[in-house]
Amino acid sequence: MSLESATDEVIKQNLEQFLIVLSVSLSVATVSRIFSWFRQIPYTLLLVIVGLGLAFIDIRLVNLSPELILEIFLPPLLFEAAWNTRWRDLKDNWIPVSLFAIVGVIISIFGVGFALDELTNLPLFTALLVGASLSSTDPVAVVALFRELGASKNLTVLLEGESLFNDGVAVVAFALLVEIPLGASGLSLETTISRIAAFIGIGVAVGCLVGFGISYLTQRLDLPLVEQSLTLVSAYGAYLLTEEFGGSGVIGVVTTGIILGNFGSRISMSPRTRLLVTQFWEFLAFFVNSIVFLLIGDQIRLSSLADNLNLIFITIVAVVAARFLATFALATVSNALMETKINWREKTVLWWGGLRGSVSIALALSVPVIFPNRQDIIDIVFGVVLFTLLVQGLTIQTFLSRLDLIGDQPIRENYAELLARRVALKRVLDYLSKLDKSPDVAPEFFSYEQHLVKEKLKTVEAEIQSLNDSYPQLQLLTMEQLRETLLDIEADTYAEFIRSGRLTSNLSPVLQEILAESKISEQ
């Protein structure tokens, strides 16, 4: 067989494997929506279970390489989360988010590392590598459940904000630790601090450069598909550029996503383009998550895990204990520094909701082949990830229910939808009243359409009144929406002036002042 034929055969096999993965993941998505019983299981956890079933019957879909996750799957997942993170919410919770993402990672690394060093035969640096691999949280399944069940916005912001930044801190810590046993670097405090500062600084710098650069380009375009493509380029470009310059690609992508989601999309994109880009990233995140979580289950080697059950059990206890210590201690510190408090019920959910996922798997698999105890690290991390996804992930709803943290978010969403329908129907009536009646259309048709819309409007207003009577607190939602609408109108007006050249693009201080005044009025 010629070299060219062999290459074609490999490409064909890889394509077939990819299509199988795609078909299985989308089939799981369809089944989970059709049958009500499956809706009780978060979609990503269902994918892990299916992948685990495939592994159990020894059907391997595709080889999961760390480069595939870190360079292809990770940037879109991080960018989508950062794009949808509101800077206002992040700024209001920056103290607990920073504590969880930085100090929490340190507690996890040393808590798990020292426990394994004392209770097992693993060398200290191997134990610390396990701790670093498992210090990054993956809240995809939990946050989706939070939104579906109506958990408090504060819980969602804290868990998502922590995950956005602790990925970068965990990757930096892992990169430093993996070099020490190989003799590539020492553990001096000055060297460690300078390298961490360089990782973070380069990531933030490149992220700002890409984020504001893409914002500048989209400001001069009104082509939705081009602007959508530029956001995709910015996600991968920020990651690859940052890694090339020696920084943290994770932090670069997160910085870019936050800038484009909160500044670039507001100033540079029309509302229609903003909506299209958001929908594009929602689909891409769904698509990537489908593949990643299915492959996590598929790549688990049950026989290898069985040989290391004692190590996995000790690590699970250490991870849960370290998470408990970090969550309750750091939340207490945050409560002492902030007016907004995290109560004990929210602390409990934050503790139990600290799932591990794709980043932990990728870090474990990226350990060099020549590293001693490499297979032990991989088995331990896979075992712990499996426990957090299947045990903690499937029981988090029980915690929310028992702690009375399931809120009225579904009702609020239904109420907001009704308000939007009322506005839309009123605009339709207004349009019909101003429309010049065409001689080609019978007058009875206009009357019929007006009557139809009025009946729909009457039904919607009756539903709104019924909800107001049953849930008086929903009226606050109308006032919140009015405040946000006024703020959006003001910000959109500035954006219009910038696009027309009547204002310069140096508007961020103005916007920050607007956001600050808006927050004061809400309080």
Is-contact 77 288, C-beta < 8 A? Answer: yes
Return per-residue pLDDT of the chain as tens, 523 residues.
555 666 666 666 666 666 776 677 677 767 766 666 666 666 667 777 777 776 666 555 555 565 666 677 788 888 888 888 888 888 888 899 889 989 999 999 999 999 999 998 888 888 999 999 999 887 766 776 676 666 677 788 888 888 888 887 888 888 888 877 655 555 566 777 787 888 889 999 999 999 999 988 887 777 878 888 899 999 999 999 998 888 888 889 989 999 998 888 777 777 778 888 888 888 888 777 777 767 666 666 777 778 888 999 999 999 999 999 999 999 999 999 887 788 898 899 899 988 887 788 878 877 877 887 888 888 899 889 889 888 888 888 888 878 877 655 667 667 777 888 888 888 888 877 776 666 666 777 777 888 888 888 888 888 888 877 776 666 666 666 666 666 667 666 766 666 666 665 555 555 545 544 444 444 4
Q: Say what the pLDDT of residue 520 is.
A: 41
- Longest Cα–Cα distance in the chain: 90
C-alpha to C-alpha distance for 419 and 396, rounded to whole angstroms: 32
E strand or H helix that includes residue 251: helix 249-259
C-alpha to C-alpha distance for 10 and 513, rounded to whole angstroms: 57
Look up the pTM and report it.
Answer: 0.71
Q: How far apart are the first and last CA of the chain?
A: 73
DSSP codes of every residue in 425-467: HHHHHHHHHHSPPPTTS-HHHHHHHHHHHHHHHHHHHHHHHHH
How many CB atoms sit inside 10 A of residue 333's CB? 14
| pLDDT (tens digit per residue) in 230-286 | 999 999 999 999 988 888 888 899 899 999 988 887 777 777 788 888 888 888 887
C-alpha to C-alpha distance for 462 and 173, rounded to whole angstroms: 57
